[in-house]
Amino acid sequence: MEISSHLSDLLQQLNEQRRQDVFCDCSILVEGKVFKAHRNVLFASSGYFKMLLSQNSKEMSQPTTATFQAFSPDTFTIILDFVYSGKLSLSGQNVIEVMSAASFLQMTDVISVCKTFIKSSLDISEKEKDRYFSLSDKDASSNRIERPSLYAGGWQEESSSPQPHFSPDQGTSVISAKSWSKSNYHPACQRNTQPPLTKHEQRKDSIKKTKHLRLSPLSEVAHFKSSKPESQTSDSANHASQSEEQAQAGAEMDSAPVGYQYGQASEVTSRSFPDDLSRLRFKCPYCTHVVKRKSDLKRHLRCHTGERPYPCQACGKRFSRLDHLNSHFRTIHQACKLICRKCKCHATDLTGQVVQEGTRHYRLCNECLAEVGIDRLPIDLEAEQHLMSPSDGEKESRWHLSEENRSYVEIVEDGSVDLVIQQVDDSEEEEKEIKPNIR
DNA sequence: CTGGGGAAGGGGCCC
DNA sequence: TGGGCCCCTTCCCCA
């Protein structure tokens, strides 16, 4: 006979004991803040503590102390609360750091929940953006609007079960890792609006991952300082090599996250590596790539999630980055290069013309234009550019829209650039997939 | 089959 | 923090 409440009661009791510092035989020092805990609980929850405590098993009579500088006390609070309650308080602001800490501590459950959270957030960002753009259709032309806070708004849209519980004030979700990992719950990213990666993309992704492996300078960095005097050096060294092994193993496992490095750079880091390497602070949870800036990490994450929030209005191809979209649009649909496509000579408005083939525009010099004949339509470039760029002060990425297109596209002010984002039906979009450009 | 060119896509970094 | 530019690599198409 099994009493179902026993496990939760037991955990609750242990949590109470931890809070009241009863039977706590382990102290964890994180940036000066001391956390009390039970050795056996930590041992059971974290691969890192398992290794640490088993090494120190001979000294069971002595209280164990561990010191971390690789993450903040707030992050460790979240981790420790999870260990003792099974509930993980994730938000858009802390998820990266929690994931890195969990990776450091080798807590696979937490890592997968964070991964899911990140993927869902990115997906919801996209969905929310589309929804927002579609809703803004009517007033977009008259009002200057800003993008919504995607995390907060997006999560509340979701209603799948088991559903993360949200603190209404800050959009923080409390997730029970066990229920997530054991249920068949498919978060938003798996019901995705985004088409799955094509084979081509997957191949490229794997190529990239290999490249990232070579680039990873910080997977070897140890951020652990044991306060046990007799084991300090060996522990650090052990963890360093362990991190290295794990980073490699993680990369080999393709999707296994191996994030160790996030937050404050430790003294070890700055002493052991050149300045340019120690400044790299943001560790990709999916690969070993490290970047200096959070926004660069956010951008990088799209190559793992496959998120392509920027559709080309002209051909429907989607891009993960706005600058790639703009570049594509200028090259393919605006014929910005002053080069004759046929003879490669310099072709300006005087010496040539922009011609159209499908949605694609390119330049031909007058000679080649005469040779090509009538099957390609010369475009009045000035008129075209006027439509693209109605005023000198505005960016050329303001796209021309025909009247019929206006019925289903949204015009959104995004900073100084006028983006035209096509409102897409998700299911339809999945089928569309990314097609190669018309050549 | 191969080499060249164009396009895509990723990273670094400046504004 | 996002946009945008530059640089580089990779992939694909075509001659």
Which nt sits closest to A325, CA to C1'? B8
Using the C1' atom of nucleotide C4, identify the protein residue whose alpha carbon is closest: A323
Tens of pLDDT along chain A (439 residues)?
A: 778 788 888 888 999 999 888 888 888 888 778 888 998 899 888 888 887 777 666 555 666 777 776 677 888 899 999 999 888 888 877 877 788 788 778 888 888 888 777 767 665 554 444 444 443 333 333 333 333 333 333 333 333 333 333 333 334 445 443 333 333 333 333 333 333 333 334 433 433 333 333 333 333 333 333 333 333 333 333 333 333 333 333 333 333 333 333 333 333 333 333 344 445 567 777 777 888 788 888 888 888 877 888 888 788 888 888 888 888 888 888 777 777 777 777 777 778 777 777 777 777 778 777 776 644 455 544 444 443 433 333 333 333 333 333 333 333 333 333 334 333 333 334 333 333 332 2
Tell me the CA distances in angstroms from A143 to A34, A128, A137, A411, one per residue in order. 51, 19, 10, 10
**Best CA proximity match to A67, nearest among A22, A35, A40:** A35
- The two three-digit tokens of residue A347, written as one number: 């072709």
Hits for CB < 7 Å against strand B across A residues 168-207: 201, 204-205
For residues A391 and A416, the answer to whether their CB atoms sit within 8 Å is no
Q: Stated in angstroms, how far is A346 CA from C9 C1'?
A: 27
pTM confidence score: 0.42
Asked if the Cβ of residue A434 lies within 7 A of any atom of strand B, the reply is yes
Nearest nucleotide (CA of A204 to C1'): C10
Contact between the CB of A16 and strand B at under 7 Å: no
